A = this chain, B = another copy of it.
Amino acid sequence: MTHSPQKPSLKKLRPPQRDAQATQEKILEAAEREFSRHGLKGARIGEIAQNSGVTTAMIYYYFQSKEGLYKAVLERPALEVQEIMSGLNLDQKPPIEALKAFIEAAIAYEAKHPHRGMLWFQEANQNGGEYFKLNKGSWSGIFAYINAILERGMADGSFRQLDPLVTIVQILGICIFYFNIHENWKHFMPDYDRLSPEAVNKHTQEAIDLILNGVKASKI
């Protein structure tokens, strides 16, 4: 669009028009959105190309195939979540504090990536989790991390006796479902922005109240 004088005076003084990494990032970003909307089969390479400002040929150049791009898209969040979780140091906090911190982090993450959850739903429903399984290692680590909090809480008497495997899924459901159904649910309350910071904060507080009251050992 702009006149960029091609002076080759100094190498890398300004970002070159040919930036392999930047191009891949742009593609991944657009692909994540497209795959979250339509899944592997339904996603359109042309749409990804258009939304990332590249040609379809570039996508094949970097990712070989639609499937290769899909795998790359699924890998990013797995690594990212792993990093966030280990930064929380949940194993060094009392169970109640740790669980509270986890809830806040989970909701904050979903609020930041409100469409990312659909990636996993699409994957589950279209492919039976066969591609999800490729990052099973990452997710298992996170899974075990939360499990440890619940086990620890039961052991020290701060939580009631519960089934941690089922409860983890239910806790995630509380935190995440809110965002997954947003586009339908918003029609019930057209004047209320469910994704505003205030609304998300409300959701967070209610989730903490519901979950902590739900898992705490009875005080009687």
CB distance from A46 to the nearest CB of B (A): 13
Within 8 A of B (CB), among A182-220: 182-189, 202-203, 206-207, 209-211, 213-216, 218-220
Which residues from chain B contact A211 at a C-beta distance below 8 Å?
210, 214
Q: State whether A210 and B170 are in contact (beta carbons under 8 Å apart), knowing that A129-B183, A165-B189, A184-B129 are contacts in the complex.
A: yes
CB distance from A23 to the nearest CB of B (A): 26
Q: What is the bound-complex CA distance between A118 and B160, given in angstroms?
A: 33
Which residues from chain B contact A128 at a C-beta distance below 8 Å?
183
Decide if A112 is an interface residue (CB 8 Å cutoff). Answer: no
How many of A's residues come within 8 Å of B, CB to CB? 61
Decide if A126 is an interface residue (CB 8 Å cutoff). Answer: yes
Decide if A133 is an interface residue (CB 8 Å cutoff). Answer: yes
Decide if A158 is an interface residue (CB 8 Å cutoff). Answer: no
Q: Is the CB of B203 within 8 A of A209?
A: no
Which residues from chain B contact A219 at a C-beta distance below 8 Å?
218-220
Decide if A10 is an interface residue (CB 8 Å cutoff). Answer: no
> How does the 8 Å CB contact mask read for A159-181 relative to B, with 1 for contact and 0 for none?
01011011101101111111011
The residue that A172 contacts in the complex, of B177, B186, B202, with Cβ under 8 A, is B177
Q: Is the CB of B115 within 8 A of A125?
A: yes
CB distance from A37 to the nearest CB of B (A): 5
Q: State whether A124 and B170 are in contact (beta carbons under 8 Å apart), knowing that A162-B209, A214-B214 are contacts in the complex.
A: no
Within 8 A of B (CB), among A90-107: none
Q: Which residues of A come within 8 Å of B, CB atoms?
A: 36-39, 41-42, 115, 118, 120-121, 123-126, 128-129, 132-133, 136, 139-140, 143, 160, 162-163, 165-167, 169-170, 172-178, 180-189, 202-203, 206-207, 209-211, 213-216, 218-220
Given A169-B181, A174-B174, 5 more A-B residue pairs with CB atoms under 8 Å apart are A129-B186, A166-B206, A170-B203, A172-B181, A219-B220
Q: Shortest 7 CB-CB distances between A and B: which pairs?
A: A42-B42, A173-B177, A214-B214, A124-B183, A173-B173, A210-B214, A129-B184
